[in-house]
């Protein structure tokens, strides 16, 4: 593994929802009372500087390991974002919270038998360290890492290769631990590189990722080699106490007792340049804030740059938990932007398809109005989750597909400027529509 890999974990307990399925969306009951398809959304495309958004992405993703939570890169990004918001004339507050920073100094997967070969790898966040000499053991194929798969593989005292999917890295690692495995080697069938990922909390055995090609080679060798397959796994890691923060910039309404609309994006990243995930989202939100800062709306807008998303949606959870019942009741909706620079389809997500969402329906209507290719779907993998769980309507924007997710190829040169402009236009138009008609769109 190149350089020092640093990843973070939260020091408070969180509930992580692990299901992810598709949906067609459900019409909000109130939408029948106010036909949102007839709304003529204001087009802000001429006010948007896609070059300025792109320039901000370049700044935030200028190096590898650019903004890992709790370390200097994330702190520098927070200071930059805070200053930019203040320069727009917005009122800025910083909400700090503790995290435990995970640092991986080195990781190695070395094949010993049938041939000597080092396989590129990454340690998962919270991976347990190994002895300095590493762990040497037979390697077996654990397929999807289900109870049945691991029983058939006879993983006791062995290193086990497990494919991503169907369950969390954490659950699969704990299952392998309970059955006596000494370490887990994960791979993503959709990624050509070792994936950066988290185990959510410390585990009792080391866990790493390798590329799809290397995993296929190892699994093939298990079948064809008469000598079997033996490997040595080394992980040099440690945890330190640190802090992250949310940057909260408020555009205040002159209207007395105004309600509040929240527009957010996380600014931290995994151990990559993290250009699309999520320098693209926060840079787009900042451009929207710059445009809207010149307007006098009938509701407050809070533009929030969330810290520590990559380690379990920590910053957004912390923010929502800080709200009292009046704050929650006074919040109209939450708009979220995550990975909006790459792909050919602008998707709007909510967490639960069984619940009505006028905000998401409004978003779809806006995208249709601008004739953007779009899709309505469901996800629980970004900062909208805590808000929806608290009863606040949400609309989470993401472009896709994005094949370089959580890899070192997530660089600024891959970003499509038109995607940035389209996303910013929709977000700004939604804020303008809701901001001028807050009572109409309040839950």
195: CATH: 3.50.30.30
Q: Is residue 373 part of a domain?
A: yes
**Structure confidence at residue 292 (pLDDT):** 98
Q: Report DSSP state, residue 129.
A: P
Worst-scoring range by mean pLDDT, 143-152, 186-195, 294-303, 325-334?
A: 186-195
Q: Is the pLDDT of residue 295 over 60?
A: yes
Of the three residues 228, 256, 277, the one that is the final residue of a domain is 228
pTM: 0.84
Mean pLDDT of 73-93: 98
pLDDT of 239-293, one tens digit each?
A: 889 999 999 999 999 999 999 999 999 999 998 999 999 999 999 999 999 999 9
Confidence of residue 34 (pLDDT cuts 50, 70, 90): low
CB contact at 8 A, 301 and 90 = no
Confidence of residue 19 (pLDDT cuts 50, 70, 90): very low
Q: Which of 389, 287, 371, 387 is nearest to 332 (CA)?
A: 387
pLDDT: is 197 or 25 the higher one?
197
User: Are residue 212 and residue 190 in the same domain, yes or no?
Assistant: yes
118 bridge partner residues: 110
User: Are residue 279 and residue 420 in the same domain, yes or no?
Assistant: yes
Region of 154 please: left (phi>0), alpha (psi -120 to 50) or beta. Answer: left
**Structure confidence at residue 356 (pLDDT):** 79
User: Are residue 86 and residue 140 in the same domain, yes or no?
Assistant: no
Percent of the chain with pLDDT over 90: 82
304 bridge partner residues: 248, 264
Q: Is residue 27 part of a domain?
A: yes
User: Are residue 17 and residue 49 in the same domain, yes or no?
Assistant: yes
Mean pLDDT of 396-417: 95
Region of 134 please: left (phi>0), alpha (psi -120 to 50) or beta. Answer: left
User: Are residue 408 and residue 299 in the same domain, yes or no?
Assistant: yes
User: Are residue 50 and residue 145 in the same domain, yes or no?
Assistant: no
Q: Which of 74, 73, 127, 119 is nearest to 103 (CA)?
A: 127
Q: Is residue 235 part of a domain?
A: no
User: Are residue 285 and residue 417 in the same domain, yes or no?
Assistant: yes
Q: Which of 101, 65, 413, 60 is nearest to 270 (CA)?
A: 65
User: Are residue 179 and residue 267 in the same domain, yes or no?
Assistant: no
Count of structural domains, the chain: 2
User: Are residue 173 and residue 278 in the same domain, yes or no?
Assistant: no
pLDDT of 312-367, one tens digit each?
A: 899 999 999 999 999 999 999 999 999 999 999 999 999 987 777 899 999 999 99
Count the helix, strand and coil residues of the chain and give each as a percent rounded to the nearest 5: 30, 25, 40
Write the DSSP assignment of 173-212 as a string of letters.
HHHHHHTT-SEEEEE-TT-SSPPP-B-SS--SS-EEEE-H
Q: What does the block give as tokens for 11?
A: 């020091």
Q: Is the pLDDT of residue 9 over 70?
A: no
Worst-scoring range by mean pLDDT, 100-109, 142-151, 179-188, 263-272?
A: 100-109
Query: What is the distance between the terminal CA atoms of the chain, rounded to a whole angstrom?
Result: 49
Query: Which residues, other chains included, contact 386 with Cβ-Cβ below 8 Å and sequence gap of 6+?
Result: 313, 316, 317, 319, 320, 321
Q: Is residue 337 part of a domain?
A: yes
User: Are residue 262 and residue 390 in the same domain, yes or no?
Assistant: yes
Mean pLDDT of 18-39: 50
265: phi then psi, degrees, rounded to nearest 5:
-165, 145
Q: Is residue 326 part of a domain?
A: yes
User: Are residue 185 and residue 206 in the same domain, yes or no?
Assistant: yes
Query: Which residues, other chains included, contact 171 with Cβ-Cβ below 8 Å and sequence gap of 6+?
Result: 18
Q: Which of 54, 83, 56, 52 is nearest to 67 (CA)?
A: 56
Q: Which residue has the tokens 């779907």?
A: 377
Give the CATH number of the domain where residue 406 resides. 3.40.630.10
Q: Which of 325, 332, 316, 167 is nearest to 248 (CA)?
A: 316
Average pLDDT, the chain: 91
**Structure confidence at residue 106 (pLDDT):** 94
> In terms of residue numbers, what domain contains 163?
115-228
User: Are residue 151 and residue 80 in the same domain, yes or no?
Assistant: no
Q: Is residue 213 part of a domain?
A: yes
Q: Is residue 314 part of a domain?
A: yes
pLDDT: is 117 or 354 the higher one?
117
Half-sphere exposure of 81 (CA within 13 A, CB side): 36
Q: Is residue 442 part of a domain?
A: no
């Amino acid at each position: 593994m190149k350089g020092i890999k640093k990843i973070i974990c939260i020091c408070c307990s969180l509930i992580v929802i692990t299901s992810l399925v598709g949906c067609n969306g459900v019409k909000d009951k109130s939408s029948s009372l106010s036909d949102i398809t007839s709304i003529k959304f204001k087009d802000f495309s001429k006010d948007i500087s896609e070059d300025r958004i792109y320039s901000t992405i370049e700044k935030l993703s200028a190096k590898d390991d650019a903004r890992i939570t709790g370390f200097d890169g994330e702190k520098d990004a927070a200071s930059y974002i805070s200053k930019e918001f203040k320069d727009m004339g917005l009122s800025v507050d910083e909400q700090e919270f503790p995290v435990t920073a995970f640092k991986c100094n080195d990781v190695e997967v070395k094949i010993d038998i049938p041939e000597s070969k080092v396989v590129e790898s990454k340690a998962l966040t919270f991976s347990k360290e190994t002895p300095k000499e590493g762990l040497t053991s037979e390697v077996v194929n654990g397929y999807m890492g289900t109870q049945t798969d691991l029983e058939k593989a006879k993983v006791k005292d062995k290193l086990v290769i497990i494919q991503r999917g169907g369950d969390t890295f954490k659950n699969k690692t704990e299952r392998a631990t309970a059955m006596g495995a000494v370490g887990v080697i994960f791979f993503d069938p959709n990624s050509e590189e070792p994936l950066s990922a988290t185990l959510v909390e410390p585990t009792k055995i080391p866990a790493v990722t390798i590329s799809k090609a290397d995993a296929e080679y190892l699994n093939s060798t298990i079948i064809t080699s008469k000598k079997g397959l033996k490997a040595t796994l080394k992980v040099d890691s440690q945890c330190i106490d640190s802090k992250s923060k949310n940057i909260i910039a408020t555009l205040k309404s002159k209207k007395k007792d105004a309600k509040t609309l929240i527009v957010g994006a996380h600014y931290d990243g995994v151990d990559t340049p993290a250009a699309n995930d999520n320098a693209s989202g926060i840079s787009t939100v900042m451009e929207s804030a710059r445009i809207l800062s010149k307007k006098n709306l009938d509701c407050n807008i809070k533009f929030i740059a969330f810290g520590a998303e990559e380690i379990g949606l920590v910053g957004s959870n912390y923010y929502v938990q800080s709200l009292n019942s009046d704050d929650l009741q006074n919040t109209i909706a939450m708009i979220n932007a995550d990975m909006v620079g790459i792909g050919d389809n602008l998707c709007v997500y909510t967490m639960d398809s069984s619940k009505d969402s006028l905000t998401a329906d409004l978003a779809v209507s806006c995208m249709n109005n601008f004739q953007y290719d779009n899709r309505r779907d469901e996800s629980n993998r970004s900062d909208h989750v805590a808000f929806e769980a608290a009863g606040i309507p949400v609309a989470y924007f993401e472009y896709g597909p994005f094949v370089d997710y959580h890899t070192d190829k997530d660089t600024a040169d891959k970003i499509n400027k038109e995607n940035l402009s389209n996303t910013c236009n929709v977000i700004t138009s939604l804020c303008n529509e809701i901001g001028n008609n807050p009572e109409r769109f309040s839950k």
